[in-house]
Amino acid sequence: MRVSRLLARALRDGSDHSLPPAGLRALAGGAALALALAAQPGLPRAETLSDSVALAVSGHPQVRGAEAGYRASERAVEVEKGGFLPSVEVTADTGYQHATRGPDNADATKANLWRRRYRGALSQLLFDGFATSNRVEAADSRARSSLFELYGAADEVALRAIEAHLAVVLGRRLVDFARENVALHRRIFGDVEEAARRGGGSTADVDQVRTRRAFAESQLRRLQGDLQNAEADYIEAVGAMPGSLERPAVPLDKLPPSVEDALQITWKSNPRRRAALAESRAAGHSADAATGSFYPTVDVELAHEGRKGVSGEPDFETDSTALLQLRWNLYNGGADTAARRRALEQENQARLKVYEIDRRLRQDLETAYTNYRVATDQVALLRDRVATAEKVTVAYGEQFKLRQRTILDLLDSGNELFVARVDLARTELDQVRAAYAILTRIGTVLPALDVKLKVEDVASVPEREPAAPPK
């Protein structure tokens, strides 16, 4: 406000200058308005960053798709556990049969019968080289991997929602700054043009201000386009129109002090890494399951069968059996050995995937910390720049009273203040963005925002017709 008071005083004291006082009033108003934006009372309560993230992770198709994958992997565990339980099978058949019994000559007995047969059997696996138990363990590990993939998808969507939220907040601030700047240039242009018509100014001044006005309008249009793109990104990430969004602060209390401290948390918390570890364990169990084919399979079977007309026997017969059965494949062309080797290589592949993720996480964290520290240092420097630009604007107002500065000098100082504020606004949100990028890599972004991921059954998803092509 000190800027506006001093410039207003310069208007009163320097009213005999060649430029009409309305132009300097516009400059004073433009310099003061941005200073007072944050202090305006009665503004509606903004939607928080937590609100945006909660909406995003609760309904985004990427999260719900990962949730469906987790549910499917749970069912896969149940499928494999079925191998431990008894199997009950009932078969029946009936139909015409031509049977020949006896020697293969004219004395053979021939019969045309209507046959029927039924059989019920209960079998229970006793031993299969631990293949079933290892398949259950593998399926259980894959289910855990799918659960961590779900949390990883939620973290990714949360970061996209955070970036979209920050982009809309920044876009709106920059559009506001640009509108003030355009309004200022238009008023100054009108005053300079009027002064030139009255003979109190030059056409060169008019042309120079016209050029700057056109540039300011071009900046506004570009920033409006950027804001529209940011709002479209917000709708995609969050699934709702952006309301009055709150400008979030840096979550200083949630950030580890160094990269090494962050890595210690990341090794235990990052969902993508935990998913890869679970997948590695699943591959190990699958390799052990492949070894089961080298062992015999032992099971017990209780069966009852009734038949009539089978094999030309006209009488009704029944059989009841209780059998201990052993099956052992001794050779099948080397397929079992090849399957075992394939499973071992898949286990190696899964382990190397963990190492790859570790490298990427370290790189991503180092990059995120560098971005955060650079932005933090820049924020301090840019705040000094804004404060200095405000002082320069005030000093130019004082010098204008003494006719030591022209209106173009004042316009330059106002534009410098505008650019400084734009750079500061961008960097402040870059700092917030980098902080949440760190939390996302660590795997603690949702707890930091007090957002809980609810895992629900998504078995029924309505079908949608494909969108019609644009005409």
How far is it, in rounded angstroms, from Cα 378 to Cα 381?
5
**Cα-only R_g, the chain:** 39
Is 14 within the bounds of a domain?
yes
CA distance 375 to 275: 32
Residue 301 in domain: no
230 and 164 Cβ atoms separated by less than 8 Å = yes
- Report CA-CA distances (Å) from 335 to 129, 321, 341, 349, 436: 17, 34, 10, 21, 50
pLDDT in the model for residue 21: 41
Question: Is there a domain that residue 463 lies in?
Answer: no
Asked if the structure places residue 322 within a domain, the reply is no
CATH code assigned at 255: 1.20.1600.10
Q: Is 31 left (phi over 0), alpha (psi -120 to 50) or beta?
A: alpha
Q: Per-residue pLDDT tens for 199-225?
A: 766 777 788 888 889 999 999 999 999
Statement: residue 162 has pLDDT above 70: yes
Count up the domains in the chain and report the number.
Answer: 1
Residue-level pLDDT at 454:
83
User: What value does the mean pLDDT of the chain take?
Assistant: 84
Q: Is residue 110 pLDDT above 70, yes or no?
A: no
Model pLDDT, residue 41: 42
- Angstrom CA distances, 17 to 200, 392, 421, stand at 9, 20, 29
pLDDT at position 13 is 45
- What pLDDT does 195 receive? 74
| Residue 278 reports pLDDT greater than 50 | yes
Q: How confident is the model at residue 121 (pLDDT cuts 50, 70, 90)?
A: very high
Q: What is the pLDDT of residue 412?
A: 85
Tell me if residue 245 falls in helix, strand or coil: strand
Domain annotation covers residue 465: no
pLDDT of residue 323: 96
Strand ordering across the sheet containing 316-327: 87-101, 109-127, 297-308, 316-327
- Is residue 227 domain-resident? yes
pLDDT of 408 reads 79
Residues 6+ apart with CB under 8 A from 110: 98, 99, 100, 101
pLDDT band at 191 (very low <50, low <70, confident <90, very high): confident
Looking at residue 331, the DSSP 8-state letter turns out to be -
Q: How far is CA 188 from CA 194, 210, 467, in A?
A: 10, 9, 50
Give the residue with greater pLDDT, 59 vs 171: 171
pLDDT of residue 466: 44
Query: Considering only CA atoms, which of 455, 368, 146 is closest in space to residue 274?
Result: 146
Give the per-residue pLDDT at 42: 39
Confidence at residue 100, expressed as pLDDT on a 0 to 100 scale: 72
Q: Are 399 and 433 in contact (CB under 8 A)?
A: no
Contact, 425 vs 227, CB < 8 A?
no
Q: What percent of the chain has pLDDT over 70?
A: 83
Query: What DSSP element (H or E) covers 462?
Result: none
At residue 117's C-alpha, the angle toward residues 115 and 122, to 5°, is 170
- Sort 313 into a burial class: Cβ within 10 Å, 0-12 / 13-18 / 19+: middle
Q: Is 390 exposed, middle or buried (0-12, 13-18, 19+ CB in 10 A)?
A: buried
**Confidence check: pLDDT of 75 > 90:** yes
Percent with pLDDT over 90 in the chain: 65
Lowest mean pLDDT segment, chosen from 92-106, 210-224, 268-282: 92-106
Q: Is the pLDDT of residue 459 over 80?
A: no
Between CA 374 and CA 433 the distance in angstroms is 12
Check residues 200 and 95 and name the one with the higher pLDDT.
Answer: 95
In the prediction, which pLDDT does 220 show?
94
Structural domain boundaries enclosing 144? 2-37+45-84+130-293+336-448
Predicted confidence band of residue 449 (pLDDT cuts 50, 70, 90): very high
Considering only residues 193 and 223, tell me which one the structure prediction assigns the higher pLDDT. 223
pLDDT: is 165 or 408 the higher one? Answer: 165
Task: Judge contact between 279 and 69, C-beta under 8 A.
Answer: no
Mean pLDDT, range 270-293, rounded to an integer: 95
pTM (predicted TM-score): 0.80
Answer yes or no: are the C-beta atoms of 27 and 414 closer than 8 Å: yes
Check residue 30 and give its pLDDT: 41
Q: What is the mean pLDDT of residues 38-63?
A: 73
Structure tokens at 435: 């902080």
Q: What is the C-alpha to C-alpha distance for residues 199 and 46, in angstroms, rounded to an integer?
A: 51
Q: Tell me the average pLDDT across 54-71.
A: 93
* C-alpha 56: how far from chain center: 9
- CA–CA separation, 25 and 10 (whole Å): 9
pLDDT band at 155 (very low <50, low <70, confident <90, very high): very high
Q: Does the pLDDT at position 12 exceed 90?
A: no
Does some domain include residue 412? Answer: yes
352-391 confidence digits (pLDDT tens):
999 999 999 999 999 999 999 999 999 999 999 999 998 9
